């Protein structure tokens, strides 16, 4: 199948499909989203959809991946490891990363507070396991005799994802920075220490 035409004056069709799916994930279960409804909304044909995605499940994963700001946990964990955790305006990268990812963070918060919360949690955890922890030299033990690492990971990510859902539940009344300040350096540092011990 040939590549779909690209009109330089409009947003890329693949990107429009991702944005449309992310919006749908906020409002309705992923299983209720159909290819027909998406292509009608985006203004493309079925062949174009299947050029980019095998099915709506693959598109849902791409939509969630697009809003998961892996740069933020990567930067936070890196600062903690260096013993330089601080969220002052002078903290390198963090305020900029939050600002650059603001729309994605808000979308993720809304999805976590909607009908696809479980799907979003699973995808975020997978991205953290595959993309963030290995970059920092942290791996979760596959030793079933000592599940400590996985328990700590589930505890930490579960709590953070619940806070993100809470942020959407409050109507985004609090900025992301408020949540980061509430965590303080001690909480993530203690969790990272346990994960590092189990390497």
137-190 pLDDT, tens per residue? 666 656 566 677 778 788 888 888 999 999 999 999 999 888 877 765 566 666
Q: Are residues 125 and 56 located together in one domain of the fold?
A: no
Q: What's the pTM value of the predicted model, to 2 decimals?
A: 0.83
Task: Return the higher-pLDDT residue of 106 and 184.
Answer: 106
* Among 120, 27, 35, CA closest to 69: 120
Q: What is the pLDDT of residue 151?
A: 81
Q: How many CB atoms lie within 10 A of CB 146?
A: 11
- Strand, helix or coil for residue 148: helix
pLDDT score at 50: 97
For the stretch 42-96, pLDDT in tens is 999 999 999 999 999 999 999 999 999 888 777 776 666 665 555 554 555 677 8
Task: Note the pLDDT of residue 102.
Answer: 92
- Note whether 53 and 147 are same-domain residues: no
CA 2 – CA 44 distance, rounded (Å)? 15
Any long-range contacts for 160-167 (C-beta under 8 Å, 24+ apart)? 161/112, 161/120, 161/121, 161/124, 164/105, 164/108, 164/109, 164/112, 164/113, 165/109, 165/112, 165/113, 165/117, 166/113, 167/109
> What's the pLDDT at 138?
66
- Tokens for 92, please give them: 């390198």
Would you say residue 7 lies in a domain? no
Q: Is residue 76 part of a domain?
A: yes
| 172 and 147 in a common domain | yes
Same domain, 97 and 39: no
DSSP label at 89? T
Q: Tell me the residue range of the domain where 56 lies.
A: 13-64
């Amino acid at each position: 199948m040939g590549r779909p035409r690209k009109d330089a004056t409009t947003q890329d069709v693949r990107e429009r499909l991702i944005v449309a799916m992310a919006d749908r994930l906020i409002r309705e279960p992923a299983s209720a989203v159909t290819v027909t409804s998406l292509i009608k909304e985006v203004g493309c044909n079925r062949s174009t959809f299947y050029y980019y995605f095998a099915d709506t499940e693959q598109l849902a994963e791409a939509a969630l991946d697009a809003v998961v700001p892996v740069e933020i946990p990567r930067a936070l964990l890196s600062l903690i490891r260096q013993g330089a955790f601080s969220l002052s305006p002078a903290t390198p990268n963090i305020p900029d990363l939050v600002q650059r990812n603001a729309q994605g963070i808000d979308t993720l918060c809304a999805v976590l507070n909607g009908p696809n919360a479980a799907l979003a949690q699973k995808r975020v955890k997978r991205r953290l396991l595959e993309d963030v922890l290995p970059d920092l030299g942290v791996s979760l033990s596959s030793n079933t005799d000592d599940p400590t690492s996985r328990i700590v990971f589930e505890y930490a990510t579960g709590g953070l994802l619940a806070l993100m859902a809470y942020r959407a539940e409050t109507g985004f009344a609090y900025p992301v920075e408020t949540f980061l300040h509430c965590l303080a350096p001690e909480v993530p540092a203690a969790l990272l220490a346990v994960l590092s011990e189990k390497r």
